Amino acid sequence: MKARFSKAGRTGKGIMARLVMKFGGTSVADIARIKNVAQHVKREVDAGHQVAVVVSAMAGTTNQLVAWTREISPLHDAREYDTVVATGEQVTSGLLAIALQDIGVNARSWQGWQIPVKTDSAHGAARIADIDGARLIERLEQGQVAVVAGFQGVAPDNRVATLGRGGSDTSAVALAAALEADRCDIYTDVDGVYTTDPRIVPRAQRLSRISYEEMLEMASLGAKVLQVRSVELAMVYGVRTFVRSSFDDPLAPELVSANHPTGTLICDEDEIVEKKVVSGIAYSKDEAEISLRRVADKPGVAAA
Ligand code: ASP
Ligand code: MG
């Protein structure tokens, strides 16, 4: 990736910050949830920040779109797969722009090709090659919110490309790098990154901060909060990434005034004061260990 994709040079210490706010599928699952997202965005706009929003498709939509491409032909063309599955995010970007306009927030939707978000040619699992942030920055500086369809870009063949499942996290972090944003807020259905899966271990604790390296390890080992590639990008470009819940009341006083309500900040190790020896435990459900005992210690026996 090129120079304009370089590590953010701004410090965010001033009153006004530039934020990327990303909302996943459960956060935009229906019209009420989209209106809730609009309130989260309005809160940041009212606080004086420049905001670019990245949205996923409504929960379940991408699965349905993928299923249709398989049903119509198991061996379908990857370019047409992308044409179909990229539509989920087009819908939510337009709906959120309407919801924002409806509450008096100046907003405009953007598809990947309009920015453009340039990808490589690996249709269906493309990687972002470059994002030209110039047009968006111009709009942000005019006070307009950019609502960007996640998960998609445009490939060298000038056709729509998608980034692989869960790719809107990567869209958000890459956009934050390109826009030199002060922070990338990932709004999801959990309030942060936990030491292990709280649904399995009730005593799991939320981490207030975790380093890029440790988050990368946890994501690679199966923690599902973020797509692995988004964490890689955050680490390479130094994008401070804050995982938080969209289910909090968007107008709660602590959210309006505080910088860091409940959530987990993924950041440089230097920003973490209290270092833990073990940050977390990720798990995988599709692996098993089988012990065979009393097997003669001779070549070929175990294999047989
Ligand atoms: N909608 C896409 C998916 O379900 C991208 C994303 O949500 O991150 O994989
Ligand atoms: Mg996701």
Which H, E and C letters describe the chain, residue by residue? CCHHHCCCCCCCCCCCCEEEEEECHHHHCCHHHHHHHHHHHHHHHHCCCEEEEEECCCCCHHHHHHHHHHHHCCCCCHHHHHHHHCHHHHHHHHHHHHHHHHCCCCEEEECHHHCCEEECCCCCCCCEEEECCHHHHHHHHCCCEEEEECCEEECCCCCEEECCCCCHHHHHHHHHHHCCCCEEEEEECCCCCECCCCCCCCCCCECCEEEHHHHHHHHHCCCCCCCHHHHHHHHHHCCCEEEEECCCCCCCHHHHHCCCCCCEEEECHHHCCCCCCCCCCCCCCCCCCCCCCCCCCCCCCCCC
Report pLDDT for 260.
Answer: 63
User: Residue 225 CA: which ligand is closest?
Assistant: 2
* Residue to mutate (ligand 1; options 151, 160, 226, 228; most atoms within 8 A of CB): 151
pLDDT of 153-186, one tens digit each?
Answer: 999 999 999 999 999 999 999 999 999 999 999 9
Give the residue-averaged pLDDT of 173-202.
93
Quickly state the pLDDT bin for 24 (edges 50, 70, 90).
very high
Ligand 1 atom nearest the C-alpha of 89 is 1
For strands 50-55 and 18-23, give the pairing. Answer: parallel
Separation of CA 230 and ligand 1 centre (Å)? 13
Separation of CA 238 and ligand 2 centre (Å)? 21
Asked if 263 contacts 245 with a C-beta cutoff of 8 angstroms, the reply is yes
How many CB atoms are closer than 10 A to CB 113? 18
Separation of CA 255 and ligand 1 centre (Å)? 27
Residue 293 CA, distance from chain mean position: 46
* Residue to mutate (ligand 1; options 55, 62, 152; most atoms within 8 A of CB): 62
pLDDT of 28-79, one tens digit each?
Answer: 999 999 999 999 999 999 999 999 999 999 999 999 999 999 999 999 999 9
Report pLDDT for 259.
Answer: 63
> Cis omega before residue 261 (within 30°)?
no
Report pLDDT for 15.
Answer: 64
Ligand 1 atom nearest the C-alpha of 227 is 8
Question: Residue of the nearest CA to atom 8 in ligand 1?
Answer: 166
Ligand 1 atom nearest the C-alpha of 56 is 7
pLDDT of 214-266, one tens digit each?
Answer: 999 998 888 888 999 999 999 999 999 999 999 989 988 888 866 667 899 99
Asked if 40 contacts 244 with a C-beta cutoff of 8 angstroms, the reply is no
Q: Write down the pTM of the prediction.
A: 0.88
Identify the residues whose C-beta falls under 6 Å from ligand 1. Answer: 24-25, 56-57, 62, 88, 150-151, 165-169
Asked if 61 contacts 271 with a C-beta cutoff of 8 angstroms, the reply is no
Question: Residue of the nearest CA to atom 6 in ligand 1?
Answer: 166
